[in-house]
Amino acid sequence: MPADELIAYGAVVCATAYAGWRLLPAGWRAALAQRFSRLAQRAGLLGAAPRVQAGPSGHTACHTCSACPGCAEKGPATAVHTVAFRKMDGKSG
């Protein structure tokens, strides 16, 4: 198998893994992250990693929505995203 095919297959596998990770619910991602960090610590790949803290309702603190009772008490998120547009001077180039 040529090297360019291996690189292409590797890129597809990485993209599929990333898409699958991002589409998982936040609670599942947090649980899997904890499990993978424990496995990595046992294998000697990581030092002591910080753990995800559980909120007052017992759920992990994901900070992605206000659907759970732990997040509902905090109110809406305070993150502000700014989008800036620049006027082009008509020159292409």
**pLDDT at residue number 6:** 95
Compute the C-alpha angle 77/54/64, nearest 5°.
Answer: 30
Q: pLDDT tens digits, residue range 23-44?
A: 999 999 999 999 989 888 888 8
Tokens of 49: 């990693």
- Residue percentage of the chain with pLDDT more than 90: 33
Question: Using CB atoms within 10 A of its CB, is residue 60 exposed (0-12), middle (13-18) or buried (19+)?
Answer: buried
Q: How far apart are CA 29 and CA 52, in angstroms?
A: 11
**pLDDT at residue number 72:** 56
> How is the chain split into domains, by residue range?
3-72
pTM score > 0.75 for this model? no
Has residue 60 got a pLDDT over 90?
no
Tokens of 36: 């993978």
